[in-house]
Structure 1
Amino acid sequence: MNRCQLCPRACGTDRSAGQKGICGAGAKIKVARAALHFWEEPCISGTRGSGTVFFSYCPLHCVYCQNAQLSGGRAGAEITVRRLAEIFLELKKQGAHNINLVTPTHYTPHIARALRCAKEAGLGIPVVHNGSGYESVRTLRMLDGLIDIYLTDFKYMDKGIAERYSHAPDYAAHTKDAIAEMVRQAGVAVFDADGMMRRGVIVRHLLLPGHLEDSKNVVRYLYETYGDDIYLSLMSQYTPLQKERLPEGLRRMVTDEEYAGLIDFALALGVENGFLQEGAAASESFIPPFDLTGVLE
């Protein structure tokens, strides 16, 4: 915490002295919600829900963020590592299929300690790392042996698009290295008799309006590199919140034709292991209330 290098921005902030990193986080964990969540991929949410912990702040700062209240740190309360371990066990008691860590990167050392405590206390269900893809391999290695499933984004291939929308022209380079490490740790997907994922990697890609070609490049890279050893989740749910603050090209939703073009491209490549979205996926109802549910003792 005294010279933070946890994400690829490597800002060097002394979080232990009360300074805030580029992500916005200080030395203490801040969590906005811990509850059963039913809007992940079917093999993650299942019938009982995924035990999802939503961490405040984010290193990436995408201009179109769908959870800006969370990523900007406007929601959440500070808790201890001990309390985080208790939350994991409470979610298991509620019937969660797994523990789902949303935007965990900037709290990796805290999470690693909490997971060890919870596992020693009999956690016994899979742990999902649910992040942006903009990860440091060194940081991911702190979690080796603690994470069972990586549910990660791969947002952009093009440096210009990554710079324009996430201020991270190096996004693709870091994400490629990160996914390689995730696959090394989690391996080829394993499911139980009920179709729930026990181990493996799912890579999400959110199609942005007007950016079909970059999306095709992401899908091509992933399939040519990993084939069906990983699962792809191709998403159409982009929602232009606060349109007046968005670049002009992002002020509309994805068209049916754009999304069909991406799905057709993936199928033509030979992708078999994956998920797609049908119906009214682009809805604010997918964004839960960040009201401290399940956070405080």
Structure 2
Amino acid sequence: MSLPHRCHLCPRACGADRAAGQAGYCGADDRLLVARAALHHWEEPCLSGAPEDVRGSGTVFFSGCTLRCCYCQNYPISQEGVGKAITVEHLAEIFLRLQSEGARNINLVTATQYLPQVRHALDLARADGLTLPVAYNTGGYETVAAVKALAGYVDIWLTDFKYADPDLAQRLSSAREYPAVAESALRQMLEQTGAPVYDHEGFLQRGVIVRHLALPGCVRDSRNVLKILARLQKETGIPFVPSLMSQFTPFYKAEAQGLGRRITTYEYRQVVDEAIRLGLTDGYMQEKSSAREEYTPPFDLEGV
């Protein structure tokens, strides 16, 4: 699988000639850009352990993004191009180095724009002894074809489900079709990966984690997202790990879109109550005090 001459790797289907070096909507061209590769301690406990766990998740942050979230906490790499060009062979070496450092898993953050290179790097790393489960950390804006192309490569899907309302998705992420796209992608992830499987220490080896970040002033949409998730779980019969997040911090251009504050305790409590009512309780509900900037690591090219 090589870089496309007309790129359709993501739902934008922008048609950029990536193979010839033309940048797509995501900002990626024919180079492989990585901004950070290190042990990370702030994922769900079943991925990175407790905060004091020295091992953590072997997280690789890729540059560029197929979404345009006005509140992105990783905006220097998602939308401002921070990153270093590396070879596929070096990416494979990074995976193996993280394994040697004790990583619980390999965690690929926003990697779809580099899907051909990532698959190649995983092939190389596995041939040289990579045995860790691979987690795919995505905003949920994926084509069914991309999810299928990662069968046999991805063990754990760590996906967002951001919005139920197309108008909200357009205003905050420039992606009106996000709800329908995310639902189709999640259904494929569930059918492809199956129910969660844990090791003897409680670390996830296979399965799907679905994150939802509760946004200030958007309680109604959060409730509707949770209703979609509950319906999908019922329709597929495949359980997943829900992860309800309260950590919203007004980064980047959030204030200009009316998101200039953190979510209140009352707002978040309403979202949590809805999750409980719908039976989405076999997962994680972040403490309200978790809205801290430490969840965003420095993108200083560490480990690259």
Give the TM bin, normalised by the shorter chain.
over 0.9
Residue 47 of structure 2 aligns to which amino acid in structure 1? I
Residue 215 of structure 1 aligns to which amino acid in structure 2? S
Contact 1:145 1:185 in 2 (8 A): no
CA distance in 2, matches of 1:49, 1:246: 35
Asked if 1:81 is matched to 2:81, the reply is: no
Which one of 2, 5, 15 corresponds to residue 2 of structure 1? 5
Count of residue pairs brought into register by the alignment: 294
Which one of 261, 281, 303 corresponds to residue 294 of structure 1? 303
Q: Where do residues 162-201 of structure 1 align in structure 2 (5 Å cutoff)?
A: 162-201=169-208
Contact 1:13 1:20 in 2 (8 A): yes
Q: Where do residues 199-238 of structure 1 align in structure 2 (5 Å cutoff)?
A: 199-227=206-234, 229-238=239-248
Which shifted more, 226-235 or 201-210? Answer: 226-235
Gaps of 5+ in 1: none
Which one of 110, 114, 127 corresponds to residue 107 of structure 1? 114
| 3-state secondary structure, aligned to 1:84 | helix
- Once the two structures are TM-superposed, the CA of residue 279 in structure 1 deviates from its matched residue by 4.7
CA distance in 2, matches of 1:262, 1:211: 10
| Corresponding residue for residue 247 of structure 1 | 257
| Corresponding residue for residue 43 of structure 1 | 46
| Corresponding residue for residue 29 of structure 1 | 32
Runs of 4+ in 1 over 4 A off after TM superposition: 242-245
Residue 19 of structure 1 aligns to which amino acid in structure 2? Q
- Once the two structures are TM-superposed, the CA of residue 245 in structure 1 deviates from its matched residue by 5.3
Contact 2:70 2:252 in 1 (8 A): no
Cα distance, 1:66–1:149 mapped onto 2, change above 3 Å: same
Gaps of 5+ in 2: none
Give CA deviations for 1:254-297 in whole Å, capped at 9, x if unaligned.
000011111111111122311011152111111101111111xx
- Once the two structures are TM-superposed, the CA of residue 164 in structure 1 deviates from its matched residue by 0.6
Cα distance, 1:226–1:234 mapped onto 2, change above 3 Å: same
How large is the Cα RMSD of the aligned pairs?
A: 1.2
Q: TM-score by structure 2 length? A: 0.94
Contact 1:64 1:246 in 2 (8 A): no
Residue 118 of structure 2 aligns to which amino acid in structure 1? I
| Corresponding residue for residue 118 of structure 1 | 125
Give CA deviations for 1:166-222 in whole Å, capped at 9, x if unaligned.
111100111111011111221100011111000000000001101111101111111
| 3-state secondary structure, aligned to 1:246 | helix
Q: TM-score by structure 1 length? A: 0.96
Residue 250 of structure 2 aligns to which amino acid in structure 1? P
Q: Where do residues 89-168 of structure 1 align in structure 2 (5 Å cutoff)?
A: 89-168=96-175
CA distance in 1, matches of 2:117, 2:173: 26
Give the percent of matched residue pairs that are identical in Structure 1 and Structure 2. Answer: 52
Contact 2:215 2:248 in 1 (8 A): yes
Residue 20 of structure 2 aligns to which amino acid in structure 1? A
- Once the two structures are TM-superposed, the CA of residue 225 in structure 1 deviates from its matched residue by 1.6
| 3-state secondary structure, aligned to 1:271 | coil
- Once the two structures are TM-superposed, the CA of residue 244 in structure 1 deviates from its matched residue by 7.6
Contact 2:265 2:288 in 1 (8 A): no
